[in-house]
Chain A
Amino acid sequence: MDLKDRLDEAARRHGVPGAAIAVWTDGELREAATGVVNRATGVETTPDSVFQVGSTTKVWTAALVMQLVEDGLVGLDRPVGDHLPGFAYGEVTVRQLLTHTGGFDGDVFEDTGRGDGCLDRYVEHLRTVARVHEPGALFSYCNAGFCVLGALVARLRGTTWEQAMRDRLLGPLGATQAALFGEEAVLFRASAGHVGPGNDVYRQWQMPRSNAPAGSTMCLAPRELVAFGRALAAGGAAPGGARLLSAESVAAMLTPQVDVPGPPPGERWGLGVTLHDWGAFGHDGGTPGQSTYWHMLPEHDFGIAISANGGAFDGLLADVVRPVIEEATGVAVPPPPVPPGDPRSVDGSPYAGRYEGPQMAYEVTPAGGGLDIALLPGELMAGMGVAPRTARYVPLAGDTFIATESQDGRHETVTFVMRDGRAAYLHNGRAVPRV
């Protein structure tokens, strides 16, 4: 089926206001777009429309850090505090930040203003956040760590993170459909996030600049993510020929560094990059009401990036992304797990308790041979349309449990990290400590 027809149909089926996709396959770029960038304005999405690409930005920030390594300005295994004396977790290494193993609260979205000093102030603010685990002990997705890395890039390059991005990645890559500030995004058809059952335009178009290196601000057309992915797949040379990174740097980024706790087939992380055992690397991204999926299969000279601005993004992954990957490469992308038909029954008492993170809290209660998990969103999550809810989870594998009901087409899983026979953390990408 034609890419555009497929996208149109899936968007309609899954309540997606607008989406754009770019696919690199058979040595050429295919693009399609559907719907509108903003339901309130009715401006139509085009393939060159820009979307907030969220945490896919982390791979770009990682590349800027690897350029620092290449230039001898930092060592991967040196403490970050050597360069950022104001950083409260200064003993954490550059590598630990790149691999989400720094061990401090990661979901810190403090707004430290629009000005160029925002990252330095953000690093100062991290004095107030909690330690979650010993550095290096565990993967726990850490936005804050990438903001620190952005501050490191800015400090060592003597400029802002944004200017370093322009000068050292977006410019050499030849990315035209790219914006790092609102005053740049306004030049384009720029997507707005839509949230809640009514798919309403989110009240705040952009998240604070303090989180820019972790993904709060960058807007790209999908083709620019594909171009960057091709540069990584090619060992660091942009499609236009400019060298962004050395082959050694790219190899290090794509070498597994840490396992993400979870059911098999587990994800692993390189330096800033998600690695899958089915032969893909890439990253996902999300901002309030916007979602991006970006994966490269270098052995097949294949890459895909898709962004959408509301509705059920998982539906686009199921109906567009996985079929397109499989048809082009023959690689079967494992679908998200589903609950077993006849789940085993376990003693839930080692998992019971309350777990608290900076944006979410969880109450875990044994129930029916599985667990009832109450999700208690904090203010930010509530504002993004996340409602408090309690869901039944059944055992999936090991210490991983899966929700019996699906949420936007996906059954959520949680994995408990055990210490001495008792859960120490509830892990759903983030390690949430028991309190």
Chain B
Amino acid sequence: MAGAMDRRLPELIAEYEVPGSALAYLHRGELHEFAAGTLNAATGVEATADALYQIGSITKVWTATLLMQQIEKGRLTLDTPVAEVLPEFRVADPEVTKTVTIRHLLSHTSGIDGDLFLETGRGDDCVEKYVAACADLAQNHPLGVTQSYCNSGFIIAGRVLERLAGKRWDDVLREGIVEPLGLTHTWTLPEDVLRFRAAMGHIEGAPAPQWGLMRSAGPAGLICARPADVVAFARAHLEGGLLDDPRAMWEPQIDIPNPYTLGRQWGIGWILDEWDGHRVISHGGNTIGQHAMLWAVPDTGTIACVTANGGHSGAFTRAVATELFAELDAITVPAPLGPPETPVEVDASRYAGVYERAGARLTVSLRDGRAWLRHEATGELAALHEEPVEAALEPVDDVTFIWRPDGEPQGTAVVFYELSDGSPYVHLGARATPKTA
């Protein structure tokens, strides 16, 4: 079995133009590790299985686990309002300020604008300063009624941990997970990462302009680890070692309105999906030119983590999963949703209009008998992004479309839906956006 990935990983990185990758998987209790390519095209340092990659938002499951540890200790509950722990906490909506709970944050259901990336310095007060800056954050949707991916919620959750422990999030992570599991290759700060081989992200084949994200994003995405350490973390969720009841984190909290992108439901931290009749818990991460995926299949006990430092990394990690789980567990990983072979006729006119949330405006229009979706960044994000992108919406069914801008190897699923009060939304890229005009 090990032989297949020894051979296939180098082939797959070549096929998907990934500079370097590492893979670790646990199968029938045995750990297997692989690496291929280079960590940094500028230095030419070879990738090894013990090199550290930025695992990005997989960090969110670690932060969620740390909160569950506090919950199991009775320090708070999933339904404790954030404001009870952080009396100074504010967002724009005063009712949300008072009532948003830990559960909302950890299941991406708070509705708080999730895409605030704010440089608050290198110091140990970076998370505190970030949370202070959340006072102006608007709602993407009313509290608790749908799911919209929320980075800021996990940074707020990180601040809750800091307050409970009286320590930096980095230290809470070390004491709560890294040390108990004996993880030697899991770090958060670059000066610690530097004792190891470390991957550099690549964009269009060249090293990215900078290595990492701002430190304030820590609890939402700043762990650097080798895949074997990430597998060991997930193993504790299947077999014990961090929580009395890790399964509480797989309890579905909300259906993802668009089930074709990351998974069908969100648990506490974990994304929940089903492959070929098997429950899968997972999370992915993206930083500056780096990408990582973690999947665990509780009923077979198989866990895999794969990293990539550039190239068509999303398609690459999906290809690795598809080959790996077919061989290990005879599980068919569902192919990404594409347009149906026989085109379907859908009246998309009811979806025409403008959808807006903080940082993004989506405009659906009808031209030449087709529906088109135009995506533009707004506000401060507008300066960082390229031109607005527009592409046709290929119908899959009455509410589901595929949107594939020019040059993208894979389309993105787009789902139009209504909240229970009838307000129209569109869901893509894991985010909910209300119709405003």
Q: Chain A interface: which size bin?
A: 20 to 34
Give the residues in chain B near A41, CB-CB below 8 Å.
Answer: 48, 196-197
**Does B407 lie at the interface of the complex (its beta carbon under 8 Å from any beta carbon of A)?**
no
**Does A2 lie at the interface of the complex (its beta carbon under 8 Å from any beta carbon of B)?**
no
* Interface contact A205-B191, CB-CB below 8 Å: yes
With known contacts A181-B190, A205-B192, A115–B197 Cβ distance under 8 A: no
**Does A40 lie at the interface of the complex (its beta carbon under 8 Å from any beta carbon of B)?**
yes
**Does A250 lie at the interface of the complex (its beta carbon under 8 Å from any beta carbon of B)?**
no
**Does A399 lie at the interface of the complex (its beta carbon under 8 Å from any beta carbon of B)?**
no
Give the residues in chain A near B190, CB-CB below 8 Å.
Answer: 181-183, 185-186
Nearest 7 pairs between A and B by C-beta? A115-B123, A182-B190, A182-B191, A206-B191, A183-B190, A114-B122, A205-B194
**Does B125 lie at the interface of the complex (its beta carbon under 8 Å from any beta carbon of A)?**
yes
* Interface contact A188-B123, CB-CB below 8 Å: no
Chain B nearest CB from A317 CB (Å) reads: 27
**Does A187 lie at the interface of the complex (its beta carbon under 8 Å from any beta carbon of B)?**
yes
* Interface contact B194-A114, CB-CB below 8 Å: no
* Interface contact B123-A201, CB-CB below 8 Å: no
Counting residue pairs across A and B whose Cβ atoms lie within 8 Å, the total is 67
Give the residues in chain A near B192, CB-CB below 8 Å.
Answer: 205
Known contacts A182-B194, A189-B43; can you find 14 more A-B pairs with CB under 8 A? A40-B196, A41-B196, A113-B124, A115-B122, A115-B124, A117-B123, A182-B189, A182-B191, A183-B190, A184-B211, A186-B194, A186-B198, A205-B191, A206-B194
**Does B45 lie at the interface of the complex (its beta carbon under 8 Å from any beta carbon of A)?**
yes
**Which of chain B's residues has its CB closest to A116's CB?**
B121
* Interface contact A40-B191, CB-CB below 8 Å: no
What separation, in Å, do the CA atoms of A223 and B201 have in the docked complex? Answer: 26
What separation, in Å, do the CA atoms of A187 and B212 have in the docked complex? Answer: 10
Give the residues in chain B near A187, CB-CB below 8 Å.
Answer: 40, 42-43, 200, 207, 211
With known contacts A186-B200, A187-B211, A189-B45, A205–B195 Cβ distance under 8 A: yes
Give the residues in chain A near B197, CB-CB below 8 Å.
Answer: 41, 43
* Interface contact A183-B123, CB-CB below 8 Å: no
**Which of chain A's residues has its CB closest to B45's CB?**
A43
Give the residues in chain A near B256, CB-CB below 8 Å.
Answer: none
**Does B210 lie at the interface of the complex (its beta carbon under 8 Å from any beta carbon of A)?**
yes
* Interface contact B195-A186, CB-CB below 8 Å: no
User: Among B45, B125, B190, B198, which residue has the most Cβ atoms of chain A within 10 A?
Assistant: B190
Query: Per-residue CB proximity of A209-239 to B under 8 Å, as 1/0?
Result: 1000000000000000000000000000000
Query: Per-residue CB proximity of A183-197 to B under 8 Å, as 1/0?
Result: 111111110100000
* Interface contact B125-A183, CB-CB below 8 Å: no
* Interface contact B123-A113, CB-CB below 8 Å: yes
**Does A38 lie at the interface of the complex (its beta carbon under 8 Å from any beta carbon of B)?**
yes
What separation, in Å, do the CA atoms of A190 and B194 have in the docked complex? Answer: 7
Interface residues of B in 184-206 (CB under 8 A from A): 189-198, 200
Give the residues in chain A near B195, CB-CB below 8 Å.
Answer: 38, 40, 192, 201, 205
Total residues of chain B contacting the partner, CB 8 A = 26
Give the contacting residue for B194; candidates A113, A192, A209; CB below 8 A. Answer: A192
Interface residues of A in 165-203 (CB under 8 A from B): 181-190, 192, 201
Is the contact region of chain A dominated by helix, strand, or loop, or is it mixed?
A: loop
* Interface contact B194-A115, CB-CB below 8 Å: no
Give the residues in chain B near A114, CB-CB below 8 Å.
Answer: 122-124, 189
Interface residues of A in 109-126 (CB under 8 A from B): 113-118
Give the residues in chain A near B198, CB-CB below 8 Å.
Answer: 186
Give the residues in chain B near A190, CB-CB below 8 Å.
Answer: 194
Question: Could you show 26 A-B contacts with beta carbons less than 8 Å apart?
Answer: A40-B195, A41-B48, A41-B196, A41-B197, A43-B45, A113-B124, A114-B189, A115-B122, A115-B124, A116-B122, A182-B190, A182-B191, A182-B193, A182-B194, A183-B211, A186-B190, A186-B200, A187-B40, A187-B42, A187-B43, A189-B43, A189-B45, A205-B191, A205-B192, A205-B195, A209-B122
**Which of chain A's residues has its CB closest to B39's CB?**
A43
What separation, in Å, do the CA atoms of A284 and B304 have in the docked complex? Answer: 48
Give the residues in chain A near B124, CB-CB below 8 Å.
Answer: 113-115
Interface residues in chain A, defined as those with a beta carbon under 8 Å from any beta carbon in chain B: 38, 40-41, 43, 46, 113-118, 181-190, 192, 201, 204-206, 209
Chain A nearest CB from B348 CB (Å) reads: 46
Chain A nearest CB from B168 CB (Å) reads: 10
Is the contact region of chain B dominated by helix, strand, or loop, or is it mixed?
A: loop
Give the residues in chain A near B200, CB-CB below 8 Å.
Answer: 186-187
Give the residues in chain B near A184, CB-CB below 8 Å.
Answer: 211
Give the contacting residue for A185; candidates B121, B125, B194, B196; CB below 8 A. Answer: B194
Chain A nearest CB from B288 CB (Å) reads: 11
Query: Per-residue CB proximity of B376-401 to A under 8 Å, as 1/0?
Result: 00000000000000000000000000
**Which of chain B's residues has its CB closest to A183's CB?**
B190
Chain B nearest CB from A203 CB (Å) reads: 8
Give the residues in chain A near B189, CB-CB below 8 Å.
Answer: 114, 182
What separation, in Å, do the CA atoms of A118 and B210 have in the docked complex? Answer: 23
Give the residues in chain B near A183, CB-CB below 8 Å.
Answer: 190, 210-212
What separation, in Å, do the CA atoms of A192 and B192 have in the docked complex? Answer: 11
User: Among B121, B123, B210, which residue has the most Cβ atoms of chain A within 10 A?
Assistant: B123
Give the residues in chain B near A46, CB-CB below 8 Å.
Answer: 43
Interface residues of B in 146-204 (CB under 8 A from A): 189-198, 200
Give the residues in chain B near A43, CB-CB below 8 Å.
Answer: 45, 197
* Interface contact A188-B43, CB-CB below 8 Å: yes
* Interface contact B45-A115, CB-CB below 8 Å: no
What separation, in Å, do the CA atoms of A46 and B43 have in the docked complex? Answer: 9
User: Among A114, A204, A206, which residue has the most Cβ atoms of chain B within 10 A?
Assistant: A114
**Which of chain B's residues has its CB closest to A209's CB?**
B122
Chain B nearest CB from A176 CB (Å) reads: 10
What separation, in Å, do the CA atoms of A188 and B124 have in the docked complex? Answer: 25
Give the residues in chain B near A117, CB-CB below 8 Å.
Answer: 123
Query: Per-residue CB proximity of B34-55 to A under 8 Å, as 1/0?
Result: 0000001011010010000000
What separation, in Å, do the CA atoms of A76 and B220 have in the docked complex? Answer: 48
Give the residues in chain A near B126, CB-CB below 8 Å.
Answer: 115
User: Among A117, A185, A187, A201, which residue has the most Cβ atoms of chain B within 10 A?
Assistant: A187
What separation, in Å, do the CA atoms of A57 and B125 have in the docked complex? Answer: 28
What separation, in Å, do the CA atoms of A105 and B123 have in the docked complex? Answer: 26
Query: Per-residue CB proximity of B101-139 to A under 8 Å, as 1/0?
Result: 000000000000000000001111110000000000000
What separation, in Å, do the CA atoms of A209 and B195 have in the docked complex? Answer: 17
Chain A nearest CB from B313 CB (Å) reads: 19
Chain A nearest CB from B196 CB (Å) reads: 6
**Which of chain A's residues has its CB closest to B215's CB?**
A114
Chain A nearest CB from B220 CB (Å) reads: 17
**Which of chain A's residues has its CB closest to B43's CB?**
A189
Give the residues in chain A near B122, CB-CB below 8 Å.
Answer: 114-116, 181, 209
Give the residues in chain B near A185, CB-CB below 8 Å.
Answer: 190, 194
Chain A nearest CB from B124 CB (Å) reads: 6
Give the residues in chain B near A188, CB-CB below 8 Å.
Answer: 43
Interface residues of B in 1-50 (CB under 8 A from A): 40, 42-43, 45, 48
Chain B nearest CB from A120 CB (Å) reads: 12
* Interface contact B211-A186, CB-CB below 8 Å: yes
What separation, in Å, do the CA atoms of A296 and B197 have in the docked complex? Answer: 34
**Which of chain B's residues has its CB closest to A38's CB?**
B195
**Which of chain A's residues has its CB closest to B194's CB?**
A205
What separation, in Å, do the CA atoms of A117 and B125 have in the docked complex? Answer: 11
Give the residues in chain B near A192, CB-CB below 8 Å.
Answer: 194-195
What separation, in Å, do the CA atoms of A182 and B190 have in the docked complex? Answer: 5
Give the residues in chain B near A186, CB-CB below 8 Å.
Answer: 190, 193-194, 198, 200, 211
What separation, in Å, do the CA atoms of A179 and B191 have in the docked complex? Answer: 12
What separation, in Å, do the CA atoms of A38 and B43 have in the docked complex? Answer: 15
Chain A nearest CB from B272 CB (Å) reads: 34
Give the contacting residue for A115; candidates B48, B125, B193, B211; CB below 8 A. Answer: B125
